[in-house]
Amino acid sequence: MDPLDESSLSAMAHREPGQYLRITKMALRQYMQECLSQNGQFHQYFEKFANSVADFHVNQELSSDLNKRHIQIAAYYAGMTQQSPQIFIQDGGYDYVSDSLGSINAGWNQQTKDGHQIIRIMDVVKIPIEITATALSEQEIEDLSMFFSMAFGQYQRLTINYLLRPHTTQSGVYWEVRIPLQHNVSPKSHSPVAPGEPRQQLWQVRCTFTVDFENSSFMQYRSQPLYSSRRGDLTLQIPDTLRLGQEHRVVLLNRPDPVVVYSDDARIAIVQRATREWIIRPRQVGTFNLIVARTAGTEQGAEIYTSQEIEVVAR
């Protein structure tokens, strides 16, 4: 594996979400290798329907056996170490459009005092791709042009290979490369290999399309709001006396999050949560304190915002 591919996978494993270009080019290179390599996952299809490109030996050392056809597939210039034919993958940057503030797609409050939560960051970016094939013969460049049409056209639609995903998944890290069902293959062109040598030409053809790269990673996040509620900001609107058997809704003004509302004596009255409000249900005559605190339960050392003494009377 290319060292740059290894570093990008390592970055993704450590919840770094910005590996759009490296991961995309790695996925495309691996897909084409699986199509052309002798032991590739999709090579059998090309043996039956496109045998003109079925005898390539991909990214292997050059052999003295003249019957072997070698080809190199690379995503970085540093990896181009052999003579043509070659396939080179190049990106055209990307268009980043965030679907939400900070690309946060979802979040789960951990109910900790310092505000920790688990968030999911998800991005979808469009990346223009240009794949260039070079060869020293016109026949080989035509074969590679046909390979582009098959690998990113008919064959890809039959086998749903327009969704490129990792072979193995790691908990908390997910990505996929979505290849469009349309692509463009340029006319073949050529230029002299060396000045003054018109008989030896370098042939080229390009395949272009724009992919969607989507990644999703989960991480722990702690927000630090510029404003935090102070004790005394919150007020209760509830009478000091309740009748037995009469339920009463608790209204909180300037309510901060997260808070819990409870009775300090469940024998006299209990408090039940109902979506964004609380309901007091008196149980017997007596007096109890209605408490609004930052976390659930006084045994956790909750910070009490406010409290009110309430008397339950008979009907």
- Position 58 scores a pLDDT of 77
Q: In this predicted structure, what is the pLDDT of residue 129?
A: 95
Query: In this structure, which amino acid lies at residue 259?
Result: V
CA distance 146 to 35: 13
- Domain annotation for the chain: domains and CATH numbers: 3-90+129-207 (no CATH), 235-313 (2.60.40.1080)
* C-alpha separations of 305 from 61, 63, 114, 257, 262 in Å: 73, 79, 17, 11, 12
C-beta atoms surrounding 69 within 10 Å: 14
Q: Estimate the crossing angle of helix 3-13 against helix 20-36, to 10 degrees.
A: 120
Q: What is the mean pLDDT for each group of 10 consecutive residues in the chain (315 residues)?
A: 54 61 89 86 79 72 65 75 82 78 59 64 88 90 89 76 75 79 90 79 93 79 52 69 88 70 90 83 91 63 78 86
Q: Rounded distance, CA 164 to CA 255, Å? A: 47
Rounded to whole angstroms, the Cα distance separating 138 from 134 reads 10
Nearby residues of 108 by Cβ (< 8 Å), 6 or more positions away: 117, 118, 119
Question: What is the model's pLDDT at position 298?
Answer: 47
Q: How far apart are CA 250 and CA 291, in angstroms?
A: 11
Question: Residue 74 to residues 49, 78, 137, 183: CA-CA distances in angstroms?
Answer: 25, 9, 20, 20
Q: What pairing do the DSSP bridges indicate for beta strands 241-243 and 304-313? A: parallel
- pLDDT of amino acid 109: 60
Q: What pLDDT score was predicted for residue 88?
A: 92
Q: How high is the pLDDT of residue 220?
A: 66
**Contact of 91 with 127, CB cutoff 8 Å:** yes
Closest CA to 83 of 136, 14, 154, 122: 136
123, 102 contact by CB (below 8 A): no
Integer Cα distance of 229 and 308 in angstroms? 19
Among 229, 181, 190, which residue's Cα sits nearest to residue 209? 181
- Do residues 57 and 70 touch, judged by C-beta distance below 8 A? yes
The rounded distance, in Å, linking the Cα atoms of 79 and 35 is 19
- What DSSP line would sit under 260-301, residue for residue? EEEES-TTTEEEEEETTEEEEEE-SSEEEEEEEESSS-GGGT
